[in-house]
Structure 1
Amino acid sequence: MFKTSKAIIVGFALLATLTSADPLDQKRTGVDGEATVENLTEFFKPKELSPFTSMRIKVMPDRGTRLIFPFSLTDENLKPTLNIFNANSSVFKVTEDEERITGQPVLDIEYVEEPAEIQRRFKEEGGFRPILGQIQISIGGYYIAIELESTLKPNDVVPNYVFQLSEEKREHLIDLAVDRHKQALDMEYKARFDALDEEAEKRTIKYVADLIAQDPETKWIKVEEESADQQISLYVERFEYFNDRYGVIRFEVSNQSGRGMEISDIQFIGLVDEVEEKIDGYSNCVDWLEKRETRQCVFVTQNLGVHRFNKMETVISGEEDSWSIVW
């Protein structure tokens, strides 16, 4: 529940970012509050953003062009992260400075050819001939191919291209971000639990080693009893006490029937003056027993008072039957 809730909160945060990152959402307002872009296309030209987007941009010296995205370019939820390839970096420049990109939804494209070079080409070529370039941008599953062309005509230049997402694509982007964050949380928690399991296993092995190194206090029982239907035989050999913390009952279970049986549970119950007390613990004897098979078993408990019981009852449960043996 915590994982899912946290992922949803991140989704809402991304939704807020997507909503606020589009300046046209706040500036394109016409009659009765209806959205309109006619009066802004001179400075802000909308461009639909799809998984594979292509466009042509004309760039003029001293008049850069800005690409405005509907999300932050450094949003940690966008995978893969921002990648830019500029095929003609001597003439065209794209913002790649970390300080200018971090937390921002914009990229700037500039025509940086030296004025002297422009004048030289203008004279030698009998007029201005445009220089071509290409920029490839990829981020968050969107791939944008941009053809660049230099120009000296101000009217050719669009100062801002505003990438827009349809509502469906916007929701899809949010869903992807939520899914990625959930996966990241799942991996993080799995790593933590794996580390805890590993540490617990190391401590368990150390503790078992300490117990094995000790000589347990032993109380011999050597009692053998059969179930009423003579299908099951129980032989209890001894009690062992380790470190005043754990008790072990060593016993054998024999399948005296003519068919195999599944042992699903074994319980030990202490009897004192006709009052029953269930002994909590674990037995390794929960298994399949072939016909006429005898299995050596142990029952481990932290109840060290088994010696005070007048009698003990062992309840052996199978898939269909159960057997109660008092000893």
Structure 2
Amino acid sequence: MAELNMAEAINLALRQEMEKDDSVYVLGEDVGVDGGVFRVTDGLLKQFGEDRVMDTPLAEAAIVGMSVGMAMAGLKPVCELQFSGFSYFAFHQLEGQAARMRWRSRSSYHVPMVCRIPYGGGVRALEHHSESRETYYAHTPGLKVVIPSGPRNARALLLSAIRDPDPVIFLEPKAMYRAFREEVPDEEETQPIGESQVARKGDDLTMITYGAMTQHTLEAADKLSDEDGIEAEVIDLLSVSPLDDKKFTESVRKTGRVVVVHEAHRSFGPGAEIISRINEKSFYYLEAPVQRVTGYDVIIPYFAREKAYIPDVDRIVAGARQAMND
């Protein structure tokens, strides 16, 4: 069992599935010769050739539009949009075609495609490179939105996404590409889309998060344990559409206190939907108002000021202490 970082784990998933299934194709800007801007597709062109690993023009609408057509024709395209901010140019193809085709055709056609999108901050990038706009896609019926948090679940979830009969937006937290290594089985491993996991068990407080924020939240939970004697349960959502509310609403019934952590903007962000479901299913178990630790309602800054925008361990700990003291 090798220890891989997230970039290597995603590469492994793509390579294994392309070896197994000739209908899987990879396409996008610089995914071939250069191996992708983050080198996630490195080596695939050499192994599978330019017919299956296609460098495309800098045209997101064309990349996604071609992927929709390929999927409807019986292939399984995995397209890459270099940064989440570039995906807006393909929103018509995602919302108006990929997401609607099964409904529009009364299931005569389906669109088994994956759209890989590096997202989030933490790499000191330029404008349109660091957004966390998962709400756009989660709000779109017909799209599944998957967000891994580490190498092992990234590999397992990508395999499931490629095999899914409907379009999947696969948001990759680029700050996690090389943040840490984890044992990833050599043999095939999948993970169901729409199921969260308990990343840390605890009885005093429920912390709900996903993506890059999972690691920060786990660090905050350890700090709370060491300094305050608070044992927090951390729920890693792994996907925001479908949203697995069973685990976190059950956890809330046990702890009575909640903190939701995400990098996306605060207003109308995923946390609002999470809190709504807690209110619907576990309201009478709450001992205090739910706290949100999120990005701010501004365009994410870059360079030095980026750190002030992204939730860190200290902000998460402060939110947890507020939840415990209310």
- Class of the TM-score when normalised by the shorter of the 2 chains: under 0.3
Q: TM-score, length-normalised on structure 1?
A: 0.21
Q: TM-score, length-normalised on structure 2?
A: 0.21
Structure (1/2) with the larger strand percentage: 1
Structure (1/2) with the larger helix percentage: 2
The structure that has the greater radius of gyration is: 1
